[in-house]
Structure 1
Amino acid sequence: MTERSVLVTNDDGIDAHGIGALADALDRVGDVTVVAPATNQSWAGRDMTWHAGPTGIEETERGYAVEGTPSDAVAVALSVLDIDPDVVVAGVNDGMNLSAHILERSGTVGAAVEAAHFGVPAVAVSTADHTDPAPPHEDPETFELAAEAGAFVTERALDSGVFAAAEYLNVNAPAFADDPEVHLTRPAREYAVEADRVEDGEVELRDGGWERFLDGETRDDPETDRHAVLAGNVSVTPMRLPRAADAEFDLSGFDAT
C-alpha cells in the first residue's frame, strides 16, 4: 500500500511550536511535508498576496517557508512545489477557532478552505487553555493534545470516507484535559460583537461570546463547537465550501423585462 502524503501548514508561522507538534503527530498518518508562512499570519483569513508581486520561498530545516499567507502557502505547495497530498492539515493554531464568525477570520481555517478549493480534503486544528488564552504560548506541551487529536481525526476521516461528504473538518481541542471525548459539532452561531465608546476619538470592540467562554460560560447549544470544548472535549465540525445561490430561490424579480 502506498504511503499517504500529508501537507502541513499553519498561520502562526513555520517556526511555531504548534506546527512542529502537529507534523510529529501526523508522521504516523503518512509522509509529511511542511509548507507554511515564514512569519506569523494570524487572522489572515483567506488573504492572498497575488496583488503584491512575486512571493519568496525558502527551504528550511522544518520545511518550506513562504513569504505570504496561509492560503499562499497552500497554493505554492500545490501549484509550484507540485506536492500531491491526500490531505492538507493546518495547525496547531495557538488559539481556538470556534463559532461561525471566527471561522471566516481564521488563517488556519482559511488554509483548509484554500485546500478544499483545490479539491484536496483538509483539516484545521486549533487549541487553547481558556484560563490562559492569550498567545503566544511557549510551552510545547500546550499543543500536544490537539496535535494528537488532529492526527487521530485525520486518520479516521481518511479511513472512513468522511471526505466524501465533508470537504474540510474544523477541529478544536482543549490544551489540557483528562480523557476528552470526540464530539461531532456544528459552529456556534451566537454573534455578540459590540463596540463601546471609551473616550473621544476611541472605541473598544468586544466579543461577548468569547468573554463568556473565557469565564467558563456559554449560551450555545450542546451540539456546538464552543460548548464541546468548554466541556473539556474535542470538537470536530464537518464543513463544506460556500456555494452559489440555491437554484430554488425565487430570483424572478431580478429579471429585466
Structure 2
Amino acid sequence: MPVLLLTNDDGVHATGLRALADALDELGEVYVVAPEREQSASSHALTLHRPLRVARVRERWFAVNGTPSDCVNLGVLGFLPARPVLVASGVNHGSNLGDDVTYSGTVAAAMEGTLLGVPSIAVSLVDGGDVAEAARIARLIATRVLVAGLPRKTLLNVNVPAAPPRGIRLTRLGHRMYTGKVVEQLDPRGRAYYWIAGGEPEWGALEGTDMGAVHEGYAAVTPLHLDLTDDRALAEMAAWSPALNAQYRRLRTGKKS
C-alpha cells in the first residue's frame, strides 16, 4: 500500500490529528510523525543545534521533540518504510487564513513536504467546528490530489468553517491587519517580561479570498506556491539596477554619490 505521512502543530495527541488519520486510513498506510507537544506559530523552523529524539506512541505513530517541519523531514528522508505519496498536516484547531500562513506550523509542514517533492496539503478548522467533518473534506481533497497530482512547488491550504460547509471553493489568500500589541508585566522580583497579544484582525477585500469563502460558510481551498517572487514589482523596479550599480561602483572607488 502507498505510504501517507501525517503531522500537525497541535501535538501528537491532538484530536484533529486522530480524526485525520482515521479519515485517510482507507487511502494507504498512514504513518503519523508529529511534535510531542504543541508547536503552534512555529512557522517553518528546523531544529539544527540539538539532536532530535523520536518516541513510538503506538503502531505507526511517532512523537518528535521538534517542529512540524522537523517531523516532515524525518518522515520523508528518515525512517518510514517507503517514500510517502502524500503529506497531510492537520486538522489544526483554529483557522489558518490569509497572512496566518506565514506563522503557521501546520502550513509550514505542508510547505516542507512540497520542498521535498511530495504532494502536500494543510487542513485547518475554525474554532468550534466539527473535526470529523473537516477530516472528511481532507479525505476528499487528498483523494483528488492522489489522482490528479498538484502543480510543481504548489501545496493546498484548506480551511473549514465552524458550521457544516455549504460547499468547497477554490480561493486566493486574503489579507488582514492585526491590531495586536506587546503587553509588559512584572514578575515577583520586579523584572519585566512580555506577551505578544493578538487583537481582533481587520480584513481587506473578501471577494475571492479564503476568508470570504469561510465567512460565507464554504470550505476554502487555496493553492500556495513556494516561489515568493513578486514578478510585478520585479518589472516595476527594473530601473533600480543601473542606478544601484552606479552608486556601488562609486562607493567602491571612494567617490561620493
TM-score, normalization: structure 2? 0.81
The residue identity in structure 2 corresponding to 1:54 is P
Q: State the percentage of identical aligned residues.
A: 34
RMSD: 2.6
Residues 42 and 190 of structure 1: CA distance in aligned 2, closer, same or farther (over 3 Å): closer
TM-score, normalization: structure 1? 0.81
Render the CA deviation track for 1:140-188: whole Å, top value 9, x for unaligned. Answer: x831111111111111122223x125621000102331x5211001111
Rg larger in 1 or in 2?
A: 2
Give the one of 140, 163, 167 matched to 1:176: 163
2:207 aligned residue? 222
1:208 aligned residue? 200
Which consecutive segments of 4 or more residues in structure 1 shift more than 6 A?
196-204
Give the one of 236, 244, 252 matched to 2:242: 252
2 CA distance for matches of 1:190 and 1:116? 25
1:106 aligned residue? 104
Residues 199 and 58 of structure 1: CA distance in aligned 2, closer, same or farther (over 3 Å): closer
1 CA distance for matches of 2:33 and 2:195? 38
Contact 2:123 2:157 in 1 (8 A): yes
2:189 aligned residue? none
2 CA distance for matches of 1:128 and 1:109? 15
Deviation at 1:199, TM superposition (A): 9.5
Residues 203 and 171 of structure 1: CA distance in aligned 2, closer, same or farther (over 3 Å): closer
2 CA distance for matches of 1:180 and 1:98? 18
1:160 aligned residue? 148
Q: Please state whether the residue corresponding to 1:111 is helix, strand or coil.
A: helix
1:138 aligned residue? none
Render the CA deviation track for 1:118-161: whole Å, top value 9, x for unaligned. Answer: 121110000023xx5xxxxxxxx831111111111111122223
Q: Which runs of 5+ in 2 are unaligned?
A: 187-191, 250-257
1:73 aligned residue? 71
Deviation at 1:5, TM superposition (A): 2.2
Contact 1:145 1:176 in 2 (8 A): no
Render the CA deviation track for 1:206-240: whole Å, top value 9, x for unaligned. Answer: 44326xxxxxxx65322111111121111000011
Aligned pairs (5 A) from 1:1-257: 3-51=1-49, 53-61=50-58, 63-82=61-80, 83-99=82-98, 101-129=99-127, 132=128, 142-161=130-149, 163-165=150-152, 167-177=154-164, 180-195=166-181, 205-209=197-201, 220-243=205-228, 250=238, 251-255=241-245, 256-257=248-249
Contact 2:46 2:67 in 1 (8 A): yes
Give the total of aligned pairs: 234
2 CA distance for matches of 1:41 and 1:204? 16
Residues 204 and 244 of structure 1: CA distance in aligned 2, closer, same or farther (over 3 Å): closer
